[in-house]
Amino acid sequence: MSAPTKRIVKELTEITQNPPAGCKVRLPDESNIYNWEILMDGPADSVYAGGHFKIALTLPHDYPFKPPSINFRTKIYHPNITNDDKGAMCLGMLRPDQWKPPNKLMAVIVLIQNLLSKPEPDDAVEQGIADAMKNRRAEFEKTAREWTGRYAGR
Amino acid sequence: MDYNQSDELAQLQKLSNEYSPEAEGPLVSERISSSAITTEYANGDPVYQIKTAALPQKYSFYRTCRGDGHCGWRAVAFSYFEALQKTGSKQKFFEEETRLRSLANLFLALGHPEHVYEDFAEETYSLLRTIANTNDDGETLLATFNDYGTSMSIITHIKLLTSAWIQTHPEQFAPYVVPQTIQEYCQRSIEAANCEIENVGLSALADVLVKPAGFAVEVLYLDRSPGEEVNTYRFDLTDQHGTVLPASHTLRLLYRPGHYDILYRPEDIPQPIEQPPVFVNLTSTMSEHRPDFHGMAGRDDNLAIPGMSFAFPHQTNWAFNPLYDLPSAPVPTVSQAVPVPAYVPLPVPHQELLPPQSIPMEQPISPPVSQPQPSSIGRNGPFRPCTYEFEINHSSVSLPVFQTSQFKNSHFNVAHYNNPDFQPEAWNPNEEYKHTERSRRNRSQ
């Protein structure tokens, strides 16, 4: 087994045995360890509470020397996640110029959770949602909860 | 409107800044003749032309590293392993593994848990052990460094070591990274997956990896600055008083803005100890069967004359080359994958070791004019490596001198101003080769 594969298997084992609270990780295709699926509960203290979000975590073939990519398969109203069919999230340690090979996927999952609890409108990919969050907070929260109920229910 | 436009421009500018063409080529290439560098710049900026023209005389070979943003790290890491292999001592590898393992103290001091680095470090240790138990000409090392996962693991390990070294020696490096703090610098410019080595990093890497192993680092800066030769910067071993100590080996890097390659001086290249004896025999046979050989293909004892080395770069050994790559010729020590020629002339007494019957007599031993021109035998550059071998071993070899210095200094030599075809020795790697060989050969018959 090559070194990168060994590392991925090791990380997967750690995470499935001891997943972060409110998260489940599985492989949609057992033979492909590069595509992970994360089921994440919306953090209780956030506007996404009660939602269950399906997230695809894709590892590049040169992982861990390139960052994983994160795509929300469940539609979400969030300034840092693209509001399109990709649902891409790319900030902080996930940026190619900030990624460090020693970073662990556990830290990536925790980053996603933190970002659901505290979106970062100053580093937004959806400028409209960021403006709403900064300037029309009540409207932002209402829409976010609505979307959570509509798209991220059980 | 204006706002939108500038926004768009900024976006385009950003895209343009981030654009980098897909890097190509092997992660670390075979060793090739550095005259290829000269050729590369032959039509370029005059400053580069001048500087690169002087390069191959001192640095005969080089290896390219893929310009994927890690080439500097990769060049140092590869050269470090190569230098260790050249020491030829298993003990040395063991010492290095022990030393690198003990550097875990640096990580400990920074509070890095073991899992941060262990996977990457393990690849380094494993390669040290592999190379220690390998007896080849560097093929294993080259293959390992061309395995993306392994070489990136090793690079990540040495980057982490470098970062830890900088952070544990803040007084030494802090002045060079302002306005950033040491930590910020290491995060952004050392540890990040996609960042090329800078001078601070190189200096720290030399301190933590290279110098303690007894090696020095030499960087040749090939840039547009005025001058006729590339600027050289050395990271030498020093004692506590700053006195330079002798290094058992020097890692040489060629820096061109944004890119690093590996350079070699002729003396850096290991010579196979075991000689393929068939060549010896051919040497004597050649001279017997071809009286005209004496007249023209002189051993370049005249290389000692400044400038004369380029007068006859090819004639020294043209006769051996057609036989060099013969599949029937036993070439036990050197794989064809490595462009280091196995041929090194032996002292005369060894010739009687082989009976003449073993010569492949069916080999076409034809008059030299019809001799097929071995253009390039899978190597780059107009110089066949064996030309260099002659130069390298020039002092230690005592082959018969086929050519008198009288001829070279006479007007029969085109380099002589009295020669009707007088040609000053402006060295051109592309043309001189065929041209002068032909013209001289015709004349001497």
Nearest by CB: B192 against A2, A4, A99: A99
Mutation target for A interface from B14, B130, B153, B162: give the one with most A CBs within 10 A: B153
Helix intervals (H) in B34-135: 35-40, 46-58, 71-87, 90-102, 104-110, 114-132
Q: Residue A152 corresponds to which amino acid? A: A
| Most confident among B43-47, B75-79, B147-151 (mean pLDDT) | B75-79
**What pLDDT is recorded for position B23?**
67
Q: Does A99 touch chain B (CB under 8 A)?
A: yes
For A63, name the nearest residue in chain B, comparing CA atoms only: B149
Question: Does pLDDT of B344 surpass 70?
Answer: no
**Contact (CB, 8 A) for A62 and A51:** no
Strands A69-72 and A88-89: antiparallel
Please indicate whether, in this complex, the C-beta atoms of B160 and A62 are within 8 angstroms of each other.
no
**Contact (CB, 8 A) for B267 and B338:** no
The verdict on whether omega for the bond into residue A119 sits within 30 degrees of 0, i.e. cis, is no
The dihedral region occupied by A22, where left means phi > 0, alpha psi between -120 and 50, and beta the remainder, is left
**What pLDDT is recorded for position B52?**
85
Per residue in B252-282, pLDDT (tens digit) is: 999 988 889 999 988 887 665 554 444 544 4
More confident residue, B391 or B265: B265
- A4 falls in which pLDDT band (50, 70, 90)? low
The set of residues, in sequence order, having a beta carbon less than 8 Å from that of A57 and lying 6+ positions away, is: A35, A36, A37, A38, A68, A69, A70, A105, A108, A109
Mean of pLDDT values over B183-208: 90
Percentage above 70 pLDDT, chain B: 62
Question: Distance of CA B334 to CAs B78, B135, B324, B375, Å?
Answer: 20, 12, 11, 20
**What pLDDT is recorded for position B225?**
83
Classify the C-alpha dihedral B415-B417-B418-B423 as positive or negative: positive
For B114, name the nearest residue in chain A, comparing CA atoms only: A102
Torsion of CA B317, B321, B324, B325, to 10 degrees: 160
More confident residue, B442 or A26: A26
Mean of pLDDT values over B437-441: 52
More confident residue, B368 or B134: B134
Q: Pull the structure tokens for residue B326.
A: 């013969």
Per residue in B215-263, pLDDT (tens digit) is: 999 999 988 888 888 888 899 888 888 788 888 899 999 998 888 999 9
- B361 falls in which pLDDT band (50, 70, 90)? very low
**What pLDDT is recorded for position B309?**
45
- B336 falls in which pLDDT band (50, 70, 90)? very low
**What pLDDT is recorded for position B96?**
93
Classify the C-alpha dihedral B295-B300-B302-B305 as positive or negative: positive
CATH number at residue A91: 3.10.110.10
Question: Distance of CA A17 to CAs A11, A21, A25, A26, B320, Å?
Answer: 10, 12, 10, 11, 67
**Contact (CB, 8 A) for B238 and B226:** no
H/E stretch holding B139 reads helix B139-145
Q: Does A66 touch chain B (CB under 8 A)?
A: yes
Interface confidence (ipTM) of the complex: 0.80
**What pLDDT is recorded for position B301?**
47
**What pLDDT is recorded for position B441?**
53
Per residue in B105-137, pLDDT (tens digit) is: 899 888 888 888 888 999 999 999 999 998 888
Domain with A73, as residue range(s), is 3-151
Active site residue A23: no
**What pLDDT is recorded for position B342?**
44
Per residue in A37-92, pLDDT (tens digit) is: 999 999 998 999 999 999 999 999 888 889 999 999 999 999 999 988 899 998 88
Question: Does pLDDT of B327 surpass 50?
Answer: no
More confident residue, B269 or B206: B206
Q: Residue B47 corresponds to which amino acid? A: V
Q: Which of residues 116-145 of A touch B (CB under 8 A)?
A: none
DSSP B238: B
Write out chain B residues lying below 8 Å of A104, CB-based.
Answer: 115
Please indicate whether, in this complex, the C-beta atoms of A4 and B149 are within 8 angstroms of each other.
yes
Mean of pLDDT values over B70-80: 93
* B interface residues, A as partner, C-beta within 8 Å: 115-117, 119-120, 122-123, 148-150, 152-153, 156, 160, 188, 191-195
For A2, name the nearest residue in chain B, comparing CA atoms only: B149
Q: How many residues does chain B have?
A: 445
Q: Does A65 touch chain B (CB under 8 A)?
A: yes
Percentage above 70 pLDDT, chain A: 97
Q: Pull the structure tokens for residue B52.
A: 């690169």
Round the average pLDDT of chain B to a whole number and report it. Answer: 73
The set of residues, in sequence order, having a beta carbon less than 8 Å from that of B4 and lying 6+ positions away, is: none
**What pLDDT is recorded for position B386?**
54
Closest CA to B350 of B254, B253, B284: B284
Number of separate domains in chain A: 1
**What pLDDT is recorded for position B272?**
53
Which CATH number describes the domain made up of B21-268? 1.20.1300.20
Mean of pLDDT values over B134-153: 90
| Per-residue buried b or exposed e for B149-176, using 16+ beta carbons within 10 Å of the residue's own CB | bbbbbbbbbbbbbbbbbbbbeeeebeee
Classify the C-alpha dihedral B74-B80-B84-B87 as positive or negative: positive
**What pLDDT is recorded for position B427?**
65
More confident residue, A1 or B210: B210
Residue among A33, A49, A90, A91 flagged as catalytic: A90
Q: Pull the structure tokens for residue B191.
A: 């540890």
Strands A52-58 and A35-41: antiparallel
Question: Distance of CA B34 to CAs B180, B263, B434, B444, Å?
Answer: 39, 8, 19, 32
**Contact (CB, 8 A) for B182 and B173:** yes
Q: Please state which of the ranges A104-118, B233-247, B352-366, B425-439 shows the lowest mean pLDDT.
A: B352-366
Question: Does pLDDT of B316 surpass 60?
Answer: no
Q: Give the closest-approach CA distance of A118 to chain B in angstroms.
A: 24
Write out chain A residues lying below 8 Å of B148, CB-based.
Answer: 62, 65
As separate numbers, helices (DSSP H) first and strands (DSSP E) second, chain B gives: 18, 6
Closest CA to B53 of B436, B408, B430: B430
**What pLDDT is recorded for position B426?**
65
- B419 falls in which pLDDT band (50, 70, 90)? confident
Closest CA to B24 of B55, B54, B79, B67: B67
DSSP A42: P
**What pLDDT is recorded for position B271?**
60
Q: Pull the structure tokens for residue B77.
A: 């890491």
- B93 falls in which pLDDT band (50, 70, 90)? very high
Question: Does pLDDT of B160 surpass 90?
Answer: yes
Question: Does pLDDT of B370 surpass 80?
Answer: no
* Residue A78 CB burial class (10 angstroms; 0-12, 13-18, ≥19): buried
Please indicate whether, in this complex, the C-beta atoms of A3 and B148 are within 8 angstroms of each other.
no
The verdict on whether omega for the bond into residue B179 sits within 30 degrees of 0, i.e. cis, is yes
**Contact (CB, 8 A) for B96 and B84:** yes
DSSP B207: I
Write out chain B residues lying below 8 Å of A100, CB-based.
Answer: 191-193
**What pLDDT is recorded for position B328?**
45
Rounded-to-integer distance, Cα B432 and Cα B144, Å: 38
**What pLDDT is recorded for position B374?**
47
Measure CA B350 to chain center: 31
The dihedral region occupied by A53, where left means phi > 0, alpha psi between -120 and 50, and beta the remainder, is beta
Please indicate whether, in this complex, the C-beta atoms of A100 and B195 are within 8 angstroms of each other.
no
Q: Give the closest-approach CA distance of A111 to chain B in angstroms.
A: 18
For residue B251, the cross-strand partners are B217
Per residue in B280-300, pLDDT (tens digit) is: 444 444 444 444 444 444 444
Domain ranges of chain B: 21-268, 277-444
Question: Does pLDDT of B146 surpass 50?
Answer: yes
- B162 falls in which pLDDT band (50, 70, 90)? very high
